[in-house]
Structure 1
Amino acid sequence: MGIECAPLLAALHEVTFCGGEVWDATSFAALLSGHGTEVTLALMGKDPAGFILSRTVLDETEILTLAVHPDFRRRGIGKSLVRSVQGKGKVFLEVAVCNTPALALYVQCGFVKAGLRRGYYRDGSDAQVLVSNDA
């Protein structure tokens, strides 16, 4: 998928992160036009259920964002999306320290804590840095 899917990704991101750090279509288009950036979309039937946006440079992959529509949560979609980028070298990401469900998902997928970014998000909240332990 390329920049043509930016509006769809923005809509999924907005419903997933309502009230949080939401990215618009322009942001997604800019990210998707970058070298090494790719998106994997999960469907439930014909309905977009979620996506993972990642960027790979050499032997490292960063998960830029992961979104699963609230109607499709707790069905293994997030786990499948994370697994789709594992195996691309060392994988790392930042996740809000207060996002307990996401932290649990990443730990279940084999990520370990590697650091803390204070004031990382626009609202001033902190982010936990996680890295895959299988690389």
Structure 2
Amino acid sequence: MNALVQPAPERFVPLAPARIPEVMELERRIYPFPWSSRNFEDALRSGYSAWTLVSETDAVIAYAVGMLAVDEAHLLNLAVDPPQQRRGYGWKLLDWMARTMHEYGARSLLLEVRPSNSDALRLYRQYGFEPIGIRRGYYPARRGREDAIVMRVKI
């Protein structure tokens, strides 16, 4: 009997140092002030939770980096390749990070987001994040600095 071989759907893969150049290509396309490759290298060296969501062709669709501090996790970076946005990948990766951090003992997940990043704000609110504060001048911006909205969700 011949069975049709279906390509594997997207899957979560730990971010490895060899993937940093590919992630950096996305990072530069997505953010006006991207992380550096050194930021990603330091995160991996520090043992942070760093994941990619890859396609059936093994291309990076999205990536995220988070750290655990006792019972609270901090989502440091989450991004989806622009042509892949609005397809549910951000939600999938956010949920993966929340569940992974919960398995490591986190009971809440904290993040900062630019007020100007309406797509991210919508995703986080839909996931259940609530604003808990403002960090003034947190992000670099084209004209000075931009505040960050601090948000948290119980996981």
* TM-score, shorter chain, exceeding 0.5: yes
Gaps of 5+ in 2: 1-14
Kindly indicate whether the alpha-carbon contact (under 8 Å) linking 1:60 and 1:90 is maintained by their aligned counterparts in 2: yes
Work out the number of aligned pairs and report it.
131
Counterpart of 2:137 in 1: which secondary structure? coil
Offset at 1:31?
1.6
Secondary structure in 1 matching 2:120: helix
Equivalence for 2:3: none
The C-alpha deviation readout for 1:10-42, integer Å capped at 9, x for no partner, is: 22211221xx2201212210121113x021111
Deviation per residue, 1:87-135 (Å, 9 max, x gap): 4221000000110110000001110001001100122011100000x34
- Aligned mate of 1:51, from 63, 77, 81: 63
1:15 aligns with 2:46: no
Aligned partner of residue 39 in structure 1, secondary structure = strand
Measure the CA separation in 2 of the matches of 1:9 and 1:59. 28
Unaligned runs of 5+ in 1: none
Tell me how far apart the structure 2 counterparts of residues 5 and 58 of structure 1 sit (CA, whole Å): 28
Normalising to structure 2: TM-score of the pair? 0.79
RMSD of Structure 2 on Structure 1 (CA): 1.3
DSSP-derived class of the 2:138 partner: coil
* TM-score normalized by the length of structure 1: 0.90
Aligned with residue 147 of structure 2, among 115, 120, 126: 126
